[in-house]
Amino acid sequence: MLPGPNYIYKCPKCNTLHQQMSLMSGNTFGAMIYSDGNMFAPMMPDIPKITLCTECRQIFWLDEQNLVGTYDFNDPINEAFEQAASVSHLYLEDLIYVIENSLYRNEDEEFYIRQRLWWVFNQKLLKDSELLGNQHMKSLYQNNCVRLIELFKGEYDNERVFIAELYRNLGQFDRCMDILKSLQDEEYKERKQALLKKCKEKDNKVFLVK
């Protein structure tokens, strides 16, 4: 992993500075990849595009509108930049808040938020199978999956495999298998077989594929 410059953003509400790392290059050596596409890779971390202000708790996008500068470790010392808090990913309740309040400006941002919500939900369900026992949480999860299916265009196998996974997570195993059987790309042969096996077992939970 080769780090790039750090980007400095200000909270649009209180102007508190936050820093976001960047990567010049990375790799997936030692990565853990789940059936929903969620990846935990020590040499290629998932860098947030939206965060929560450490001071006033405002949620804001890390975009050009809030960018105030950059610095590299070889640059002259800028204490304000170097002491800025590191950005962090949103927690489950924050992601839900973003969706319920439509704090996204286009479909790309909506997809980003909904995909992260899907991933966070799926990881929590591995540890707490009763999470969706609450009707409100169950509706949130199901509605999010349905909307993600709409946001995926489904034109290529790399999208259809995730649409199939969303249907499996929803417990719609026949629909999942129908989509899987349409996949032609050899790249997804092993994933296809693993998902078909889970469908036959009526298992809708996310699982480790690598």
Q: Does the structure show a pLDDT above 90 at 73?
A: no
Coil, strand or helix at 168: helix
Give pLDDT, residue 155.
Answer: 86
Amino acid making up residue 29: F
Taking residue 111's Cβ as centre, other Cβ atoms within 10 Å add up to 16
Residue 168 predicted with pLDDT over 90: yes
> Residue 179 in contact with residue 152, Cβ under 8 Å?
no
Of 14-23, 50-59, 158-167, 181-190, minimum mean pLDDT range:
181-190
- ∠ CA(150), CA(156), CA(157), 5° rounding? 100
**pLDDT tens sequence across 119-161:** 999 999 999 988 999 999 999 999 999 999 999 988 899 999 9
The predicted structure's pLDDT at residue 75: 84
Longest dimension (CA), the chain: 60
| Whether the predicted pLDDT of 74 surpasses 90 | no
DSSP, residue by residue, 55-124: TT--EEE-SGGGEEEEE-TTSPP-HHHHTSEEP-PPPHHHHHHHHHTT--SSHHHHHHHHHHHHHHHHHH
Whole-model pTM? 0.94
Instruction: Return the domain boundaries, the chain.
Output: 2-86, 92-200
Residue 1 reports pLDDT greater than 80: no
Check pLDDT > 90 for residue 105: yes
The pLDDT score that the predictor gives to residue 197 is 97
CA dihedral 125, 130, 135, 138 (to 10 degrees): 20
Q: How confident is the model at residue 143, as a pLDDT?
A: 98
Per-chain mean pLDDT for the chain: 95
